[in-house]
Structure formats: C-alpha cells, structure tokens
Structure 1
C-alpha cells in the first residue's frame, strides 16, 4: 500500500497544487499532519476519499473542531500515528520517539517544522516537510510503502517555491 505523507500545506484556496496532485492521485492513502489552514484546502484533500488527517496549530477554528489532534490507523498490520506538533527541532526527536511509544504506533508522521525527516529506530519517525512553504529545505512530501508488514519511506522533493535560504545558497554556489 502506498501512503503519501504531507504536512504544512498552508493553502488559502480549495485546489491541490499541480506540482504534487499527480502523486496524490497515484496513492492509496493521503496522511496529512495538519496546517491545511483553511476549510477549502481541507475539503480539496478530503474530496479524494483517501484522507487521514489531524489539525495543526495554524488551522482555523472550524478545522480544529472537525479534526483530531492525534490519529491512529492500521495498514497491513502496521500501526501508523499522525500528529502535528511534537518536535521543536529536527535535531532532537527524542520527544517524538516517546510519543510514538506512548501512542503504541510503529510509524509516527508529524509536521510543524517544515523540514523533511525519516528516522528509523525502534519506531519510524516521518516528517514530510512542506510542499508549499519549506524551511531550510526544498518542497517535499514522503512516500511510505507498506508491504506485508514491512515499511519503507522515501523523501520526495517536488517542484515549488524554495525557502529563501536554499535559494540564496544555490545562487552563491553558482557564483564560484
């Protein structure tokens, strides 16, 4: 089963950007770790019929009432959890590991930091970054494959607006 994890889309309108719409069309589950921002954005993802989602800190009050803070679902015997917040830094994922253990999940998808991460220990921690407003990273999502209870995850860079820092460093590299 193919799961596309994403977070922090921060979209105002009701359309999924073409830069990653085809990827979403070709998956079984869309796991969104919050910060749709608006109901229209949420509805665009929900209309696919594939959405599993939680609310984020930037979501409007209507979404915070509609969506849970935490969500757990099962895919082929693998328990997957979704939360928005849980890490203040990509450098220390210890609180997220403990949260995954507390939630009794094998995989924990989280958002909020806008930078991608796949970390494997006794649990798999996945932050898909942001496809529309990355920080210190390129726009990204994560493709998760679950096959006979085995999980693999890959960060997928997509086209889109680069964060200012990445754009600046690429320009500097071109000047050498």
Structure 2
C-alpha cells in the first residue's frame, strides 16, 4: 500500500494548486494523509478528488474545516498504527509536541507538520515524520512531501520527495 503524506499546503494563499511532483504521487497512492494547514475546505475537497483523505486541522485552517477535522487522529493501516497531528502550540519544539500528543497510546509513526521543515527521526522507538510543505518551503531549499509504503506492520518504509 502506498500513502502520500503532506502538510502545510496553505492554498490558495501560497500557490494556485498542487505541484506536478505531488500530483504524480497522489494519482498513484491508495490513500492520503494531511497533517493540517490545508487552509480552506476547497483545498481539502480538491485532495479528496485523488482518493481517501485522513487529515487533521491545523492552526491556520478556516473554522469550517476545523469543525470537520479533529486536532489529532490515529489511523490503522495494514497493522501499522499512525498518529497524525499538526504540532502547533506553545512551548517545546514542534517535534516534542507531536511526540507528546501520542504519549498515551502506542503508535509506530507520528506524522506532523506546522514547522514546514522535513523531519525523519526516531524518538524513543517511534518514528516522527514531518513531510515539509509542497507549496510553502519557507527557508528550506526545496518543497517536499512524503511517501509511505506498507507491506505489513513489520515491513514498511517512508521517504521524503524533494523538488523545486
């Protein structure tokens, strides 16, 4: 199973649409994970045209979207438990807030966003993954999103896709 992971799309404020590199993976995936800051319901609905979307609300999402989406969610896919949260808040680092959001339940992977900084590291046996942003790279050298490939709960891989 192939899952496309993205966050911080900030559309239409930060672009007119999804970049081609992202669209290619969206067309080939079985489902989509978005870690918040779609910005608008229209962006959320546009993603749903590519397939099933599991997403969370981010701090700049419009109120209508915050009414539809949870602040955090746990997804079970092929035996793999994935925690999804935006990661915004005060105090601590974005990574620490994301990790702590799932401290009360065991997960294999925590997907988060907010910082727009691609991140891939283990913390206390849990992989933390920030896909970066496909539309708002801020001070990063490239735009990015992620692809997760799952065979079963013990055999999976995740990677960033970078593009300009």
Please tell me the TM-score bracket, short chain as reference. Answer: 0.7 to 0.9
Give the counterpart of 1:144 among 128, 137, 148. Answer: 148
Q: Which runs of 5+ in 1 are unaligned?
A: 160-176
Q: Which runs of 5+ in 2 are unaligned?
A: none
- Cα deviation for residue 105 of structure 1 reads 1.5
Give the counterpart of 1:75 among 63, 77, 100. Answer: 77
Q: How does 1:93-132 map to 2 (within 5 A)?
A: 93-121=95-123, 122-132=125-135
The equivalent of 1:168 in structure 2 is none
The structure with the largest strand share of the pair is: 2
- Cα deviation for residue 42 of structure 1 reads 0.9
- How many residues matched? 159
Could you tell me how far apart the structure 2 residues matched to 1:96 and 1:8 are? 15
TM superposition score normalised by structure 1: 0.81
Q: Choose between structure 1 and 2 for higher RCO, CA contacts under 8 A separated by at least 6 residues.
A: 2
Could you tell me how far apart the structure 2 residues matched to 1:157 and 1:88 are? 29
Contact 1:20–1:158 under 8 Å retained in 2: no
* Higher Rg: 1
Is 1:20 matched with 2:25? no
The equivalent of 2:161 in structure 1 is 156
Could you tell me how far apart the structure 2 residues matched to 1:112 and 1:69 are? 13
RMSD, aligned CA: 2.3
Could you tell me how far apart the structure 1 residues matched to 2:81 and 2:133 are? 23
TM superposition score normalised by structure 2: 0.86
C-alpha spacing 1:23/1:109, structure 2 compared with 1 (3 Å): same
